[in-house]
Structure 1
Amino acid sequence: TALMLAAQNGHKEVVELLIEEGADVNAKNNNGWTALMLAAQNGHKEAAGLLIEEGADVNAKNNNGWTALMLAAWNGHKEVVELLIENGADVNAKDKDGWTALMIAAQNGHKEVVELLIEEGADVNAKDVYGLTALMLASQNVNKEVVELLIEKGAKVNAQTYTGKTALMYASENGHKEVVKLLLERGADVDAKNKDGWTALGLASQNGHKEIVKLLKSYGAKR
């Protein structure tokens, strides 16, 4: 709709005009997106604020179960995240795969958004349908500062997915030495095994990460 296009591009005056002329603020496109989602994804705080004032549903979900909050978190738009939470956005809403806004922000390395979401009550140990946590996603994507922050805020270092994988395994497998070191310092179980019997050491070896193999061995990893 015209309203969606105006919101997507942050044209506040046009958004205002269209609403005055009777545009439906909660209309959805074929993918289930609303004007508010488009404004949030693109970081247009003023347009988003106006849509909310005019009755836009802050917790509406698109066809994948994503909310405006998740979309703002994906792109690290902290001010929009703040605005949405102030107006009742559910910080622990989940998409179809069980992802929360916190997981999304953690995966993408948006530290300030991660911090804000936790302050506002986001569950730091929430799991998706596979048992993945925000800590695992940050470890997998080499966001060391986010990993540190999540642990400080109570993330379980030794949480496992439903196939038994830990944050340490993800970091070891992907060659993220700094993250591996940090996780070990914070009490990661070096001998944990996944359902196939693999340890972090095995995964690091399989992927040729020599420095990580040395590091894991220095923490007592045997196989």
Structure 2
Amino acid sequence: MALVAEEGLANVVRKLVPLTEPRARNSVALVCAARAGHKEVVELLLPVSDALADHSAALYEASACGHSEVVKLLVPDSDPHGKDSRALAQAAHEGHLRVVKMSLRAWCCASVFPRLARQQKGRSWSGCGHEA
């Protein structure tokens, strides 16, 4: 699964997902797809993967590579107070300003407005003055 996810073969991933074991086994594939910036594959894998596996490795890789659309998918499942903040640090280090801004806005909303963040999960971050 990891190889086809890394290559961005969404049609193959779509066929393999129902045949795989849940969550942990697909987390490596999620990391590979996130690193390569394959948004569609990440969308397919998120429901059957653990986005928090290995200290949110998928978020870290997407942030480090500047894949803002993938980061936007992964941030709602992250923990701004935990080790997920290393993804933000890496994005800043690599100069990915859009990813840094997006992460800060999303985590601000989740930290300051936790109920709103739960309501907004899976949707755009609006309602607290921030645009994604």
Q: TM-score, normalised by structure 2?
A: 0.72
Corresponding residue number in structure 2 for 1:136: 31
Give yes or no for the alignment of 1:116 onto 2:15: yes
Corresponding residue number in structure 2 for 1:214: 101
Q: Which amino acid aligns with 2:10?
A: K
Q: Which amino acid aligns with 1:139?
A: A
Distance 1:104 1:180, change over 3 A: same
Relative CO higher for 1 or 2, CA cutoff 8 Å, sep ≥ 6? Answer: 2
Distance 1:211 1:121, change over 3 A: closer
C-alpha contact 1:139 1:171 (8 A) present in aligned 2: yes
Corresponding residue number in structure 2 for 1:40: none
Shift of 1:205: 0.6
Distance 1:210 1:123, change over 3 A: same
Distance 1:218 1:172, change over 3 A: same
For the pair shown, which has the larger CA radius of gyration, 1 or 2?
A: 1
C-alpha contact 2:56 2:78 (8 A) present in aligned 1: no
Q: Which amino acid aligns with 1:219?
A: A
C-alpha contact 1:173 1:204 (8 A) present in aligned 2: yes
Q: Following the alignment from structure 1 to structure 2, what is the Cα–Cα distance between the partners of residues 178 and 149?
A: 14
Gaps of 5+ in 2: 112-132
Q: Which amino acid aligns with 2:74?
A: L
Shift of 1:124: 5.0
Q: After superposition, give the CA deviation of every residue in 1:145-203 in whole Å (9 maximum; x if it has no partner).
A: 00000013x2111111xxx4521111000000000001113x22234427xxx611100
Shift of 1:112: 1.2
C-alpha contact 2:22 2:49 (8 A) present in aligned 1: no
Corresponding residue number in structure 1 for 2:122: none
Q: Where in structure 1 do 4 or more consecutive aligned residues deviate above 4 Å?
A: none
Shift of 1:219: 1.9
Higher helix share: 2
Corresponding residue number in structure 2 for 1:190: 80
Question: What is the 5 A alignment of 1:1-223?
Answer: 102-121=1-20, 125-126=24-25, 133-152=28-47, 154-160=48-54, 164=55, 166-185=57-76, 187-193=77-83, 199-220=86-107
Q: Which amino acid aligns with 1:107?
A: E
C-alpha contact 1:124 1:134 (8 A) present in aligned 2: no
Q: Following the alignment from structure 1 to structure 2, what is the Cα–Cα distance between the partners of residues 182 and 166?
A: 14
Q: Following the alignment from structure 1 to structure 2, what is the Cα–Cα distance between the partners of residues 193 and 174?
A: 18
Distance 1:205 1:103, change over 3 A: same
Secondary structure of 2:37's aligned partner: coil
Q: TM-score, normalised by structure 1?
A: 0.44
Q: Which amino acid aligns with 2:15?
A: L
Gaps of 5+ in 1: 1-101
